[in-house]
């Protein structure tokens, strides 16, 4: 099981302060919540809890703490691919092959659509 943080850098203005944010995801909900608690992120910021899109948007300072506690650094593209895989298969899978998986999945859908259209 693992927790992942991506390299996204999105600005979020809250009052007079601007935060640079990224995503934190995990293989399991309990892991994600445990890491959030360990790095001082309130659980009320857990987005899409219990769904395939479950994640936290965290500030870069919290990202650094998560990495120190063992979170794995991945790209935003890997996060998007892993979340899509979880939607389809129920599992994030490995970031190492996530992008390739997503491209193959898209190709398989296009082939299936072409076959359906040809049969019509």
For the ranges 10-14, 36-40, 63-67, the lowest mean pLDDT is seen at 10-14
Mean pLDDT within 56-60: 96
Domain boundaries, the chain: 3-119
Tens of pLDDT along 27-41? 999 999 999 999 999
Residue 120's Cβ-count burial label (10 Å; 0-12, 13-18, 19+) is exposed
Secondary structure letter of residue 28 according to DSSP: S
How far apart are the C-alpha atoms of 20 and 66, rounded to whole Å?
15
Proportion of the chain above pLDDT 90, given as a percent: 82
DSSP 50-79: TSTT-BEEEEHHHHHHHHHTTPEE--HHHH
What was the pLDDT predicted at 63? 97
């Amino acid at each position: 099981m693992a927790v992942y943080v991506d390299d996204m850098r999105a600005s979020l203005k809250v009052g007079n302060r601007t935060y640079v944010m990224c995503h934190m995801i995990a293989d399991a909900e309990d892991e994600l919540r445990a890491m959030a608690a360990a790095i001082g992120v309130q659980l009320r910021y857990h987005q899409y809890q219990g769904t395939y899109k479950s994640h936290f948007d965290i500030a870069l300072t919290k990202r650094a703490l998560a990495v120190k506690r063992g979170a794995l650094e991945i790209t935003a593209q890997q996060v998007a691919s892993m979340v899509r895989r979880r939607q389809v298969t129920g599992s994030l899978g490995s970031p190492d092959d996530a992008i390739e998986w997503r491209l193959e999945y898209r190709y398989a859908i296009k082939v299936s659509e072409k076959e359906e259209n040809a049969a019509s």
